[in-house]
Structure 1
Amino acid sequence: MKWTTSLTVVFIMVATCIPGKGYTADAVGLSPETVADYVHAVVQSHRAFYTVHVAQLLEEQGIASAGSEWSTQKKTIPLPVQVVNETNQMFSTKFSGLRYQLISLWPINRKNSPRDPIDKSSLETLGERPERPVARTVKIDDQVYFRAIYPDLAVSPSCVACHNSHPNSPKKDFQVGDIMGGLVIEFPLGTQ
């Protein structure tokens, strides 16, 4: 598919700007904020396109529906959150260090819960101040990482309908445009 090729090309370009093991945190290049903004723009635009022009369209035409059991059920395609998390898995096997994931204070799947108190407080901050990402450095296993969390909005009526009607959804009053969670972008800075 063309969109997966373009996603890979952009990630390769961005990955070359991220300091890897053996590089200093003050290496000349793009700021961590700019790198995170680029990654966010690519991931979010691909997800929005998939949601509106693939998942929603196939469902409206009665061809297929998005569902969590897409790998075993016929006429089922991945949920948008699964597209994001699965492409992260594919990408991270080729480029270690850069990670992205959708998380929520109201996850249908517990795997998409905040991983730590920093994620939780960042999501709470996004709820109060959604106009810009929450960014900071964190230390994980003696390595400093840049972590930015961007608001994840309900981009279509199908997002809202699925979350509001799913039996495992802890929140059932989403509307189009609401913040449903956050997209975490994380990558290492400097050396270990």
Structure 2
Amino acid sequence: MMNALVCLALSLFLLNVLPTVSMASDQEAIPPGTVADYIHAILEADRTFYTIHVVERMQKGQGPAASEDWRAKKNLLPLPAQFLKESGDLAAKTGSTVRYRLISLWPINPDNGPYGEIERKGLETVRDHPDRTATARVTVGTQVYFQAIYPDHAVSETCIACHNTHPRSPKHDFKMNDVMGGLLIEIPLNK
């Protein structure tokens, strides 16, 4: 239910704001970096709320726990990273050409590692400068994207404990507010 609401809110936002990114030059357009900032604010707020007010409560025994096995087993919730991945997949199914996902230099799931040198360098930038956003223009096929990688900070002891104890985690010493990876947002610049 929450994924559907997040997807609906994001879809409405994208349908109303995104077209202004590539409007004709005689009209005022919103710069893609500003659009990425708007999207990031929404995604970060939704995921933080889910982590703190849903997952942490459930982990304290007030309901079903969050687990990476949530699809295979009943009465489990998706982990916050899975929540974001699922909302990104749902947004893509609505026809949105904006793409977003979590990436990390230390992914538990190898699919969440950087896809290439530009993403790896962006992650290194946010790791070394946690107050910055790494940006680039990337081309996939014939589509040009504005790419932004925002630092993904550890905001919950639950997230830290999971990453520090997970057998597939390549890093086991995360602390509160550490950069655990990045939230990558890609906005199409041409159609």
Instruction: Mark yes or no: TM-score above 0.5.
Output: yes
Distance in 2 between the 1:29 and 1:45 partners?
Answer: 25
Q: Deviations over 1:98-133 (max 9, x none)?
A: 011000000000110101110000000111111121
Matching of residues 28-177 of structure 1 within 5 Å: 28-177=28-177
Distance in 1 between the 2:57 and 2:71 partners?
Answer: 20
Q: Deviations over 1:166-192 (max 9, x none)?
A: 00000000001100000000021024x
Distance in 1 between the 2:34 and 2:174 partners?
Answer: 30
Query: Which residue matches 1:14?
Result: 14
Aligned residues: 189
3-state SS, counterpart of residue 176 of structure 2: coil
Q: Deviations over 1:110-169 (max 9, x none)?
A: 110101110000000111111121111111112211000000011110000000000000
% identity of equivalent residues: 41
Question: Which structure is higher in helix share?
Answer: 2
Runs of 4+ in 1 over 4 A off after TM superposition: 1-4, 23-27
Distance in 2 between the 1:189 and 1:24 partners?
Answer: 10
> What 5-or-longer segments of structure 2 have no aligned partner?
none
Per-residue deviation, 1:7: 5.2
Contact kept? 1:24, 1:190, Cα under 8 Å: no
| TM-score of the superposed pair, with normalisation by structure 2 | 0.91
> What 5-or-longer segments of structure 1 have no aligned partner?
none
